[in-house]
């Protein structure tokens, strides 16, 4: 992937995240309700946002992952991100990940963004399987996944150790053969 692909939906431009977006990323990554189900602690300084953006962009440059900034067309600021990581090209699969600033929750924003990147994943990246790992208590995320076509496959008991406890994960998957263009 030589050039970062910019995607557009009805309300959003999904674009590459830059250091200029650090303040936006920091603002919502510093909130415990955003990081509650995320594999990072809540941010306490802007440098953490800068480092996260740098990691996302380095992974893109190495063709290991792609993370888009979700920006409202009406204002060019990042209100969340979404993308693919855990990309296993030889198996035609990747894992999806996303987060959104709380003031935009429950408005269909993440559904709209995820539908676009799923389309990109199947049609442009050649993925056959897109996976998602979600903590059972993360009802909002589970609802979004089911709304866009993911199916629950099971629970991975004590799948990882985080914040001094073993954490279960529900595994979801979306297969290309089940994908219907909207």
User: Each residue of 14-68: pLDDT tens digit?
Assistant: 999 999 999 999 988 777 777 676 777 778 899 999 999 999 999 999 999 999 9
Alpha helix (H) residue ranges in the chain: 22-29, 32-35, 46-61, 109-123, 139-148
User: Each residue of 132-141: pLDDT tens digit?
Assistant: 999 898 898 8
User: Each residue of 158-174: pLDDT tens digit?
Assistant: 888 877 889 888 999 99
What b-and-e string marks burial along 21-34, b requiring 16 or more CB atoms within 10 Å of the CB? bbebbbbbbbeeeb
pTM of the model: 0.90
């Amino acid at each position: 992937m030589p050039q970062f692909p910019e995607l557009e939906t009805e309300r959003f431009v999904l674009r590459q995240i830059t250091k200029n977006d650090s303040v936006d990323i920091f603002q919502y990554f510093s909130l415990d309700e955003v990081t509650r189900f995320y594999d990072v602690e809540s941010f306490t300084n802007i440098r953490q946002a800068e480092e996260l953006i740098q990691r996302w962009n380095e992974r893109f440059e190495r063709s290991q992952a792609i993370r888009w900034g979700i920006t409202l067309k009406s204002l060019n600021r990042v209100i969340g991100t979404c993308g693919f990581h855990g990309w296993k090209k030889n198996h035609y699969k990747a894992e999806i990940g996303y987060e959104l600033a709380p003031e935009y929750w429950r408005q269909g924003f993440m559904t709209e963004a995820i539908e676009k990147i799923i389309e990109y994943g199947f049609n442009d990246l050649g993925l056959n399987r897109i996976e998602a790992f979600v903590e059972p208590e993360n009802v909002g995320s589970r609802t979004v996944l089911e709304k866009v076509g993911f199916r629950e496959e099971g629970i991975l008991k004590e799948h990882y150790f985080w914040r001094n406890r073993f954490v279960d994960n529900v595994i979801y998957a979306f297969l290309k053969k089940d994908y219907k263009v909207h």
